[in-house]
């Protein structure tokens, strides 16, 4: 049996204000992160955060603000109901958020 590590760290800007929802397990926050690869290329990553990390993301970060995200990659797979074709969606499950910038509300640097 092989050992594996699923870990990712990204530095980018939020592409939208975080959106919060509640479930029986607590808060779930979604957003997207724009990561610039070079002057002509930007990759977009969907983010999901839960619990205290989700609360921090929802309360302290807004669209356009720069953050350092640490977490893991999650792949959701399903079959399209209309075509039967396999589909997949990759998202980043956020474990830690580093707030970057001079904005005074970003005094809390890493959670």
Nearest to 30 by CA among 20, 38, 22: 20
What is the residue whose two structure tokens read 């509300």? Answer: 105
pTM, entire model: 0.80
Residue-wise pLDDT for 81-103, tens only, equals: 999 999 999 999 999 999 886 55
Residue-wise pLDDT for 34-78, tens only, equals: 999 998 999 999 999 999 999 999 999 999 999 999 999 999 999
Q: What's the rounded Cα separation, in Å, for the pair 111 and 107? A: 11
Nearest to 92 by CA among 57, 62, 61: 57
Please give the DSSP secondary-structure letter assigned to residue 55: H
Residue 94 φ then ψ, to 5°: -85, 125
Q: What's the rounded Cα separation, in Å, for the pair 11 and 19? A: 20
């Amino acid at each position: 049996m092989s050992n594996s590590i699923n870990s990712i760290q990204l530095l980018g800007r939020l592409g939208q204000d975080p959106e919060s929802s509640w479930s029986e397990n607590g808060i779930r926050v979604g957003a997207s992160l724009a990561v610039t690869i070079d002057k002509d290329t930007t990759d977009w990553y969907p983010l999901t955060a839960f619990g205290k990390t989700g609360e921090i993301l929802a309360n302290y970060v807004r669209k356009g603000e720069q953050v350092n995200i640490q977490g893991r990659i999650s792949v959701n797979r399903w079959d399209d109901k209309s075509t039967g074709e396999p589909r997949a969606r990759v998202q980043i499950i956020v474990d830690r958020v580093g707030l970057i910038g001079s904005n005074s509300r970003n005094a809390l640097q890493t959670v």
